[in-house]
Chain A
Amino acid sequence: MKRLIFTVCIFIMSLQLINAQTKLISGTVKSSDDGMGMPGVSVVIKGTTSGTSTNIDGEYTISAEPTDYIVYSFVGMVTQEILVGDQTVIDVTLSPESIGMDEVVVVGYGKQIKSEMTGAITKVSAEKLQDVPVPSFESALHGKTAGVFIEKASGKLGEAIKMRVRGSSSISADNQPLYVLDGIPIISQDQGIGNNSPTNPLNTINFSEIESIQILKDASAAAIYGSRAANGVVILTSKKGKEGKTKINLSYSKGFSKAANKVDFLNAAEYRELYGEAAVNAGYFASNEDAFADGSWFPGWLRDGGEGVDVDWQDEVFRTGSVENLDLSASGGSKNTQFYASFSRNYNKGIIIKNDFTRTGGRLNLDHTVNEKLKIGVSGSLVKTELDRVANDNAFSTPMQMVALAPVNPTHDPETGELNTRTIYYNGLISARDNFVKQEVTRTIGNMYAQYKILPELNFRTEYGLDNYSQLETSFQGRETNDGAPSGNASVRNVRSVNQVFNNYFTFNKEFNQDHTMEVTMGMTYEETKDDNSTVTAIGFPSDDFQTLNSGAETSSFGGVKTEFSFLSYFIRSNYKFKDRYLVNGSFRRDGSSRFGEDKRFGNFFAGSLGWIVSRESFLADKDWLSFLKLRGSYGVVGNAGISNFASRGLYQGSYYTTYTGIRPTQLPNPDLKWETTSQLDIGVDFGFFNNRINGEFDVYYKKTKDLLLNQRLPATSGFTSITKNVGELENKGIEFSINTNNLIGEFKWNTSFNISFNKNEITKLPGGDIVAGVNRVMQGESIGVFYTRKYAGVNPDNGHALYYVEEGSSETTDDYNAAANMVVGDPNPDFVGGITNSFSYKGFDLDVVMAFVYGNDVYNGGGQYQSNQASSWKDNQTRDQLNRWQQPGDITDVPQAWLGGNQYSGTDPSSRYLSDASYLRIKNVTLGYNFPQSVLNTLKLSNLRVYVTAVNLYTFTDYKGWDPEVNFAGVGLDQTNTNVIQGRDFYTAPQARTISFGVNIGL
């Protein structure tokens, strides 16, 4: 049967040959860069408009006469013209012009050619990131991605990183993007213990295994992920093997790190001066001298080490950290089987005592072509991480809180030589000596697929993915520590989170009459996640030598919780292309989730988009200066299902009073609860000029979220403080612009990439009234989490009282805190963020300078009332700016009178006094490398040898008064609303590390 068809075809084709002298030419266009097929290459008969473009594997077919010239052209590559003659198979290899090539972009359930995309997607090649010695890939993206705001919570290792794609689209549901690795959504939410800062499960991803990162930003790109796409989707693709000789790569780097900044605190003499004055003012003593008589003032309160003791406690907190990275990989394969295998080890010694992170793991990716129809593959990674942690920022035992200790307190007791136990507050060095807090994660992420070519144009792919996240947290607190006294305290927490995903989909891809190309993807996916965790704390240990539960005398707490959720979805997407330049794209997804009320279980999401590649129009074809121009627009509706698993139910939970058990209500029911929906309009332009030496993108978007899942406030007299409802609306609108310029080409190359994104978030409807999280608030007409508190008006020169503005817009001030109104005094959301990357290369040398900037956001220092209260609270050491306190009538200052213990005029209550502008420009990364020339490589029998030095956080330009403007300590054990709303807070939060590292890459 098949043979017959074939024969007929041949017959018909030969007839055509004879008739019109035209024949069917086929072939593959490859890139000289890597020998891989190049998709999207324009293949046109010279002098006509008839042509085609290569498919995803670089293959094409075209009808041509022997006298025709075929023109192969592609953005950024040298155009080739080939005379057909008597050839029927023409394989072409294109070499790059001056710069890059068009890329294949991985999208949900498939891939696309970037030039033909109609959605807003940012792609970052992981190659450039890999020299950067940071533990998690998100921080390496900082400054490189338009429309994406990335913020590390602190300089402590292993902690959560905030990523916002085009602003916050929710108040009470998750605002982090969905992370998808090789087609499988992975666990990215904090799994850490509730009494410490959130940790980052994405730490387990070793980014030297990652080929590319793409961020789907608009509805058109993301709608295929339906109810989970409102915050954008981050798609990670791991490296694959390529046919050819096995390549072995070895990378090693080692470096050291220091705190990027320190804050000035009082020394011993200044401390005595300020506190003596505060004690005299408050009437404790007649004079400073009295206060310090005997070198020991405030008997019973403060241990003064006397003359000669002047401790800078900050020096006890910080240390010189180090980083060490080893990556070893092998990749290659035969025609039918390709593999990529890697091993890596990453060790970070933090800049804060007792804070270390180690990641060890490997990956194996295998792809096998069984026959021309069937392809199968597996990929899997095994990772183990170990994080040594310190207590949360709001704990006496956390190292950073040692800055509160008085400089007159010696670190060690001079009599015994032991650590001083008589400091004004707890001496955190005791915890550093006796305690440990460890988080160990073992994680397996694997998936397997089979792909079958049912018809030449119809593929079926089935995938199964498993993310097995297993975490063990252990801690021990010694008997001499504040948390472990009197007899030690050990705890164990076990977390198991298992996510399983099944994807099944068909892809249909066909070109009709050369002018029409159609691709349709259709399928379903089922996902379920089950979480189990349990925790036990025991007390009463015989001695500090015994640190496991078995040696404890009694249990002081225990718990075990279990929860699960599931999603069932059906989706379809179609891409239609007419004449290479008119693009129409549509997608639809129907999502069901266990998280919603029974009546609202399913929701529909869709997006449509249009694109026009203007530069391919004949009227622009001869414009040499224009290399590429595409206009695109999209509109779609996506959802956010990131709320707690059973938010729609009226619930009762258990309670106990000694052994007397009961149940009590915890949540009011709302059976109508459904997803939040975000509709987004995006209009964009992609451009390239002068042979693409200048290229970039410009996007304008408007995102409107309605049916916000809100914990609407209720009067507490009802017995409940809130109910989760779909009320409220908010919007994000913004502009993103990125441009890459090849300033110099030739032997000395200089490229610049610049991106900037403006996003304006506004709460447009909030029927339940404000949502309050300390000084942060959600208010109608304002951005999420604005700072709403008293506005500090400085100090009355007559009496040294702190002053506040009475009401908004008025210049009238008062020293009565209760009489002053709250008002919006700042905004934690930046006006714009962005970055500039300059890359230089000359001969074997290359230099990369990455700068990131954030502008227009404020940070509230929650520790300010302790650190900067002009000695008017209790005994904490003060920042040096407090020396500028009011002392006598006529003094002009914004620091009130020192008054030991504080009075109502001390200005230490929450107000804009502790708010400061946290805009910054940071030299995020500088890398200088040298690639040894071929002659050396030949001698050494290597394929590649590169040495480099790289610096992270080299310098930060900022007016921020604290340690680091890139900061957020929201608190511990927070619910989702507070996590979203509490932004821009500092509380003894550790600064980022400044790291210098030296490395070598060797290719065998």
Chain B
Amino acid sequence: MRKYKLIYVIAFMTFLGLSACEDKLELDPYQSIDAELTNTSEKVMLTANSVYERMQNADLFGANMNYFSELIGRSSDVSWVGTFNTKREMGRKLLLINNADVRDVWIEAYYTINICNIVLSKLDIIDDADDRNRVEAEMLATRGWIYFELARLWGKQYESAGSNSQLAVPILLDPVEGESDVTYPGRSSVGDVYSRVLSDLTGAETLFTTYHTATGDSRMTYLNANVVKAVLARVYLQMGDYANATIKANDVIQSGSYGLVDAPLKAFNNSSYTPEDIFALQQTALSNAGESNAGLTTHYASLAGNGRGDMEMTSDFLDLFEVGDLRGGLTTDLAGSALITDVSTMYYIGVGQSSNNGGINTAKYGDGKKNTPLIRFAEMYLIRAEGNFEEGTSLGDTPLNDINRVRARSNASAYTTVDQNSIRQERYFELCWEGFRLHDLRRWKVNVYNPDDDTESIAYDADRLVLPVPERELEVNDNLVQNSGY
């Protein structure tokens, strides 16, 4: 019987012993932390840092902002020759309401806006006053810039003399950290969104001025006062407010922090900041937008291991450039193993293998591991020139001198006079494929090339040049209204 007892005891102990392992159900994740742990000064600042990674994403400035503008605004100078339906719809200028790129840009934009809103609601947790100002400025700048992009993609052109009651996108300013914070907003008007953009950006500008110092500052490569001024210059330009656009562009030029690099291609495919970069997305081998199925290199390049060559330019386009203009040069004899370092002209016949090759591709985005310039100094000259010309002023310098500065760097002959056409033409020559095309045409009220019928162009304010509200979003939020034409 003693033996039985022993067995009972062992069995019972085993049973009980293992019952005591309820605390083994208390496990924590390793790759994440609980949201409750983020309310410290350090964690709030870390949360703010993440907006840079988001801006770099292909669904924001990393790629799709560019493609929407260049493809929907394209002329016959460039064709989409790839297999991606989402991009082909853009090139066709007939977007479907379930276009995944349209959906993903919307999602990514509001995701990033929510990060800004969360941080802005927790500024008082940040210990250091300088940090607090800097973080607030970064969040306002990011949010304002994104709302600007959303307003011009989803809303019709801002009319400087109009009421601007046409719908743009919902404005969200409060953080969402729990289900009870979720709202179902309607769309605000273009006028209201632009007001928000100006309020955020000018707020950021003021805060940065007190925080940011000058050249040599270690935060030159992050959002700063000059970046905000440059974005403001764009915003005013888009609004047709040439006077303010000129002032902001002139401010940046006068800051003395920047210059033109000595050849146009040198402004691209760099591993570090150049004097021409006002803001560039910094990339490394690890954050290589453009190596997967997203990014600018993916579709613009056609080199060994880089790009599918889907954005193909015509030889007629290259003929627009005068002979010797470095912005129109073409290399036709690259080896199959060629990398961007083997390319010395702005265009080349593609040799990449993953998809299309043999067409004309631009060298602006030749390596997914290199920086992507978002705001180049040359643009500031072009904005100042256009602004001064439209206003009949010569703040900083004359339009002729500014245009010739940009031309000279590319070995293009100097103009003796400039007019509206040559200023606009110069802007295209210099900034093509950098995401300006659609927005420029719409603010100039210039009709857009119709790929289905080249005898009849698309009116600059046509429904089809505005993105549809994503089908997904309409299904979830009854307060949203679709754009006309969809």
Contacts and interface: CB of A to CB of B under 8 A. Distances in A.
A557 B368 CA distance: 14
Contacts of B107: 716, 721
Contact of A566 (B25, B31, B83, B185): B25
Contact of B27 (A554, A645, A650): A645
Interface in A416-434: 421-422, 424-427, 430
A502 interface: yes
Interface string A765-799: 00001101000000000000000000000000000
B97 A818 contact: yes
Nearest to B351: A421
Given A594-B26, A665-B118, A902-B88, A718 B38 contact: no
Contacts of B303: 486
- Of A570, A652, A660, most B-chain CB atoms within 10 Å: A652
A845 interface: no
A714 B476 contact: yes
A609 B4 CA distance: 35
A566 B24 contact: yes
Interface in B71-104: 79, 81-83, 85, 88, 92, 94, 96-98
Nearest to B80: A901
A657 B52 contact: yes
Given A658-B282, A663-B46, A669-B178, A903 B354 contact: no
Given A556-B286, A651-B29, A903-B452, A865 B115 contact: no
Given A661-B49, A770-B475, A909-B85, A504 B15 contact: yes
Contacts of B339: 486
A663 B38 contact: yes
B199 interface: no
B130 interface: no
Nearest to A723: B179
A720 B176 contact: yes
Nearest to B97: A818
Interface stretch (B233-241, B255-263, B355-363): B355-363
Contacts of B359: 300-301
Given A460-B11, A652-B47, A717-B185, A421 B96 contact: no
A662 interface: yes
Contacts of B283: 658
Contact of B18 (A524, A555, A601): A524
A619 interface: no
Interface string A30-55: 00000000000000000000000000
Interface in B38-68: 38, 43, 46-54, 56
Contacts of A564: 27
B369 to A, nearest CB: 8
Interface in A496-513: 502, 504, 506
Nearest to A865: B85
B111 to A, nearest CB: 5
Interface in B132-155: none
Contacts of B428: none
B319 interface: no
Given A482-B354, A486-B337, A652-B47, A657 B282 contact: yes
A245 interface: no
A858 to B, nearest CB: 20
B24 A656 contact: no
A908 B473 contact: no
B31 A594 contact: no
A738 B473 CA distance: 47
A668 interface: yes
B183 interface: yes
B475 A769 contact: yes
B353 interface: yes
Interface string B351-392: 011111111000000000000000000000000000000000
B161 interface: no
A649 B477 contact: no
Given A526-B24, A566-B25, A904-B92, A718 B475 contact: no
Interface residues of B, number: 101
B114 A719 contact: yes
Contacts of A523: 15
Contacts of B24: 526, 528, 566, 568, 594
Contacts of A960: none
Contacts of A485: 304-306, 337, 352-353
B452 A904 contact: yes
A524 to B, nearest CB: 6
B32 A666 contact: yes
A421 B353 CA distance: 7
A844 B208 CA distance: 92
Given A665-B118, A716-B111, A718-B114, A650 B21 contact: no
Among the interface residues B26, B36, B349, B355, which one has the most CB atoms of the partner chain A within 10 A?
B355
A658 B284 contact: yes
Interface in A547-562: 554-558, 561-562
Interface string B140-178: 000000000000000000000000000000101000111
Contacts of B85: 865, 908-909
A487 B367 CA distance: 13
Interface string B309-352: 00000000000000000000000000011010000000001001
B321 to A, nearest CB: 20
A932 interface: no
A874 B110 contact: no
A565 interface: yes
Nearest to B106: A716
Contacts of B181: 718
A661 B46 contact: yes
Given A300-B349, A504-B18, A715-B477, A772 B178 contact: no
A660 B353 contact: no
Interface in A395-410: 396
A570 to B, nearest CB: 8
A252 interface: no
Interface in A658-678: 658, 660-670
Contacts of A452: 7, 11
A454 to B, nearest CB: 6
A87 interface: no
Give the residue among A561, A866, A909 with the most B Cβ atoms within 10 A.
A909
B358 A662 contact: no
Contact of A662 (B11, B48, B172, B304): B48
B425 to A, nearest CB: 27
B50 A655 contact: yes
Contacts of B172: 717-719
Contact of A650 (B88, B117, B177, B358): B177
B81 A660 contact: no
A361 interface: no
Contacts of A874: 81-83, 356
Complex A-B, nearest 3 residue pairs according to Cβ-Cβ distance, in ascending order: A719-B114, A662-B49, A485-B305
Interface of B: 1, 4, 7-8, 11, 14-15, 18-19, 21-22, 24-38, 43, 46-54, 56, 79, 81-83, 85, 88, 92, 94, 96-98, 106-107, 110-111, 113-115, 117-118, 170, 172, 176-179, 181-185, 222, 282-288, 291, 303-306, 336-337, 339, 349, 352-359, 452, 470, 472-473, 475-477, 486
Given A484-B305, A717-B477, A818-B96, 8 more contacts: A421-B336, A427-B353, A462-B14, A563-B31, A594-B27, A645-B29, A652-B32, A670-B179
13 contacts: A300-B358, A396-B354, A421-B353, A424-B356, A454-B4, A486-B303, A567-B25, A594-B26, A653-B31, A658-B287, A663-B38, A665-B114, A719-B117
Interface of A: 1, 299-301, 396, 421-422, 424-427, 430, 452, 454, 460, 462, 479, 481-487, 502, 504, 506, 523-524, 526, 528, 539, 554-558, 561-568, 570, 592-594, 598, 601, 645-646, 649-658, 660-670, 713-721, 723, 769-770, 772, 817-818, 865-866, 873-874, 876, 901-904, 908-910
